[in-house]
Amino acid sequence: MRIIRLGLALAMAITLAACQKGPAATVDGTRIATADSSNEWLSYGKGYSEQRFSPLDKVNATNVSQLGLAWYAQFDTDRGQEATPLMVDGVLYTTTAWSKVYAFDAATGKLKWSYDPKVDGNKGFDACCDVVNRGVAIWKGKVYVGTLDGRLVALDAGTGAVAWSVQTTDPKKPFTITGAPRVVKDKVLIGNSGAEYGVRGYISAYDAATGKLVWRFYTIPNPTGAADGAASDKVMKEKGQATWPEGAWKLVGGGGTVWDAIVYDPSLDMIYFGVDNGTPWNQKERSGGKGDNLFVSSIVAVKADTGEYVWHYQVNPGESWDYSAVQPMILADLTIAGVPHKVLMQAPKNGFFYVVDRTNGKLLSAKNFVPVTWASGIDMTTGRPIENPAARYGKDVDLQMPAPLGAHNWHPMAFSPKTGLVYIPAQQMPFAFQGEDGFKYKPGAWNLGVNLLANATPLSPAQTAAMAAMIKGSLIAWDPVAQKAVWTVQRPYFWNAGVLATGGNLVFQGAAEGQVYAYDATNGKQVWSYPTGNGVIAPPMTYELGGEQYVALMVGSGGGGQVSAPAYLPKRPRLPGRLLVFKIGGTAKAPDFVLPAQPDIDLSKVTTNGDPKHGYVVFNNNCQVCHGANATGSWLPDLKRSPLITTAQDFNSVVIQGVKAHNGMISFSRFLKAQDVEDVRAFLVGQGKGDPLPVLTTVAQK
């Protein structure tokens, strides 16, 4: 009785304190460190360990069939939705594309406030993989968001008013931010993206109260060889510089951005972050094909207070395929061969599942979780991959698995301490790598040193069928100790959503076809599904409020897979993003989406002054990354069906004058001549009429 009374008093005191100081006022390191056992969702991956496992079990196999919609919200953007909502003190915070922030009453769905950072639409061009945002961080009454144009903004958790805002990047460079900040010991941690274009990556720590920079760690040496006055100076001098001999990196930036995973272990006081691929992708261009290129494609551990280097593990030394190691990381305690280990687990793009001792960076195991062709395995004595020599592409085309979209991308995986399994949203896709003839740095454009046209060359019907059969998506329940899949659910499409695991022994995942599913965590048996009407890529999260368990997720297709490979995804136009929140017995109904009418165009009388063969080359080198190889897409406008290709004037208004720049379709006048643009139009008109793809003699055919 006494304990209950004490507990009640304590609960009242906390509520009172929260009321007096405003919502989320008591979110601090202790609360986030113990979030694994909490009914809330306090940080991007739930708590510092980022297991995405909630102990909540009110929703379980016996009642999940009655899970229905409790409430929903619809947003004003139809681009990709990647955020994980957080739920603290009864308020649910989420973000949408274009870095907008929303706060809802988590029980009723009533909007409390919203914040629009008013990102310039032109900035959309610098986002390789859609204008997405993965969510906020919360600390002592403030909500933090990184914006697409590189700002870190602190908002009052109660009102959404801006407390402070800092520019974390050089606005003249093609940096963007899509990742969620994390807060550790009164420091807000934020990285950035832009490695396809050419930037030098880093992670920064800002004072949570004032926005003052505390430390910064560059992942690539300073091209002048000078010190930056940064936390990384010492390790760059001792280890980094020597791994970067000659090559284009000094001009292009080297890449190595920190655009997603940042995790923290309070017991070791270490921060772990993942580092992106190198720029240009092609290591032969980047550093003359020599050197490991630290810290490209690495997991790096630093001290929380100072950002000083502790250890690193490089998954791809001398990386050359866009195989980044920024993918989500999970911290857990595992017993391997009878020995307990504090581990860090990651399934980066390259298709291997890594278990690393997080006290010292020593590799404990690495095993491929999907078929890969670039390496036959990982050498356990050196920790280095055993590469297939053909993977180091040059003049010859190397059709390789995984593709740059990765065997696993940013879509968060989950770990259930109950089953001991990691649930991986996995992807399989081949990509034709070929070196670019005469690479030249183009500031502001994509700089890969790879001939993207090789990935868009005509295939025979048999090759097309073989290629389509290689493209798969799956949810894999992976045993990280035994290093094997325990069960696998095959998906109809390759680009699916992040995962949630719960104490109710359930695993939740949304999928490209427009469904969200629940599975028995032990055997993968499907126990629930719900039609979302639009593709899902964001992970679900869960919380308990007023004795009721809720499951929430953002709905809205988009992201890198959707923009660059729309041919392999459902033919669906862009639809407004939604937040769906479920509970047992929920009876709310979200209206069906209104599908915009597909314009019917007649190309029979359309003529151009362009050369479709050259247009084919220009298109695939400049437009493929957002409109799909050979304009096979339909999510961003299907250009071969666009009314705007019928006259040069209309086409130029978009591609040269930039009338749609406010939506992220900038003017290409910086990069293309008027005749190039007319040639692209000729190519698109030809494709719209059903012409075969041009055959080029200079491009190796596969």
Residues ≥6 apart with Cβ < 8 Å to 411: 328, 425, 496, 497, 498, 499, 537, 539
User: How many residues are there in the chain?
Assistant: 702
Site residue total, ligand HEC (CB under 6 A) = 21
- Positive/negative CA dihedral, 157, 162, 164, 168: positive
Interface with ligand HEC (CB under 6 A), residue from 680, 682, 685, 699: 680
Question: Measured from the CB atom, is 524 or 664 closer to ligand HEC?
Answer: 664
CB of residue 380 to ligand HEC, shortest distance in Å: 41
**At 82, phi and psi to the nearest 5?**
-115, 0
Interface with ligand HEC (CB under 6 A), residue from 429, 626, 685, 699: 626
CB of residue 240 to ligand HEC, shortest distance in Å: 31
CB 304 within 8 A of CB 264: yes
Q: Which of the ranges 32-40, 371-379, 531-539, 657-665 carries the binding residues for ligand HEC, by CB under 6 A? A: 657-665
558 to 587: interface string for ligand HEC, x by CB under 6 A: ------------------------------
Interface with ligand HEC (CB under 6 A), residue from 202, 423, 668, 683: 668
428 to 457: interface string for ligand HEC, x by CB under 6 A: ------------------------------
Question: Measured from the CB atom, is 59 or 680 closer to ligand HEC?
Answer: 680
Cα radius of gyration (the chain): 24
CB of residue 420 to ligand HEC, shortest distance in Å: 41
- Does 231 bind ligand HEC (CB under 6 A)? Our answer is no
- Does 143 bind ligand HEC (CB under 6 A)? Our answer is no
Question: Measured from the CB atom, is 54 or 667 closer to ligand HEC?
Answer: 667
The rounded distance, in Å, linking the Cα atoms of 181 and 204 is 10
CB of residue 684 to ligand HEC, shortest distance in Å: 7
The rounded distance, in Å, linking the Cα atoms of 199 and 305 is 26
Residues ≥6 apart with Cβ < 8 Å to 159: 113
- Does 653 bind ligand HEC (CB under 6 A)? Our answer is no
Number of CB atoms found within 10 A of residue 192's CB: 24
The rounded distance, in Å, linking the Cα atoms of 652 and 639 is 13
CB of residue 616 to ligand HEC, shortest distance in Å: 12
- Positive/negative CA dihedral, 651, 655, 656, 661: positive
- Smallest Cα–Cα separation from 551: which of 167, 69, 141, 7? 69
336 burial via Cβ count (<10 Å: 0-12, 13-18, 19+)? middle
Q: What is the dihedral of CA 676, 461, 437, 193, to 10 degrees?
A: 80
CB of residue 564 to ligand HEC, shortest distance in Å: 9
183 to 202: interface string for ligand HEC, x by CB under 6 A: --------------------
Interface with ligand HEC (CB under 6 A), residue from 570, 660, 675, 696: 660
- Does 26 bind ligand HEC (CB under 6 A)? Our answer is no
CB of residue 469 to ligand HEC, shortest distance in Å: 29
CB of residue 495 to ligand HEC, shortest distance in Å: 17
Question: Measured from the CB atom, is 405 or 424 closer to ligand HEC?
Answer: 405
- Does 98 bind ligand HEC (CB under 6 A)? Our answer is no
- Smallest Cα–Cα separation from 50: which of 97, 27, 84, 80? 84
- Smallest Cα–Cα separation from 325: which of 258, 425, 235? 258
- Does 663 bind ligand HEC (CB under 6 A)? Our answer is yes
Q: Is the peptide bond before 295 cis (omega within 30 degrees of 0)?
A: yes
Question: Measured from the CB atom, is 485 or 623 closer to ligand HEC?
Answer: 623
- Does 125 bind ligand HEC (CB under 6 A)? Our answer is yes
CB 149 within 8 A of CB 158: no
Question: Measured from the CB atom, is 489 or 639 closer to ligand HEC?
Answer: 639
Q: Which of the ranges 410-418, 491-499, 547-555, 618-626 carries the binding residues for ligand HEC, by CB under 6 A? A: 618-626
Q: Which of the ranges 193-201, 207-215, 263-271, 652-660 carries the binding residues for ligand HEC, by CB under 6 A? A: 652-660
- Does 623 bind ligand HEC (CB under 6 A)? Our answer is yes
Q: How far is CA 647 from CA 601, 642, 644, in A?
A: 12, 11, 7
CB 646 within 8 A of CB 601: yes
Residues 355-374 that bind ligand HEC (CB under 6 A): none
- Amino acid of residue 342: K
CB 532 within 8 A of CB 515: yes
56 to 85: interface string for ligand HEC, x by CB under 6 A: ------------------------------
Residues 265-324 that bind ligand HEC (CB under 6 A): none
Residues 629-648 that bind ligand HEC (CB under 6 A): 636-637, 639, 642, 644
The rounded distance, in Å, linking the Cα atoms of 229 and 448 is 30
226 burial via Cβ count (<10 Å: 0-12, 13-18, 19+)? exposed
The rounded distance, in Å, linking the Cα atoms of 564 and 627 is 6
CB of residue 651 to ligand HEC, shortest distance in Å: 6
- Amino acid of residue 150: G
Question: Measured from the CB atom, is 18 or 654 closer to ligand HEC?
Answer: 654
CB of residue 123 to ligand HEC, shortest distance in Å: 10
Cα 162–82–72 angle (5° rounding)?
80
- Does 683 bind ligand HEC (CB under 6 A)? Our answer is no
The rounded distance, in Å, linking the Cα atoms of 545 and 58 is 12
173 burial via Cβ count (<10 Å: 0-12, 13-18, 19+)? middle
CB of residue 258 to ligand HEC, shortest distance in Å: 21
Task: Pull the structure tokens for residue 262.
Answer: 């940042």
Q: Which of the ranges 37-45, 205-213, 449-457, 653-661 carries the binding residues for ligand HEC, by CB under 6 A? A: 653-661
Question: Measured from the CB atom, is 578 or 640 closer to ligand HEC?
Answer: 640
Q: Which of the ranges 320-328, 451-459, 469-477, 664-672 carries the binding residues for ligand HEC, by CB under 6 A? A: 664-672
CB of residue 96 to ligand HEC, shortest distance in Å: 15
CB of residue 104 to ligand HEC, shortest distance in Å: 27
Q: Is the backbone of residue 109 left (phi > 0), alpha (psi -120 to 50) or beta?
A: left
Q: What is the largest CA-CA distance in the chain?
A: 87
Question: Measured from the CB atom, is 502 or 624 closer to ligand HEC?
Answer: 624
Contacts with ligand HEC, residue ranges (CB under 6 A): 124-125, 622-623, 625-627, 636-637, 639, 642, 644, 651, 654-655, 660, 663-665, 668, 680
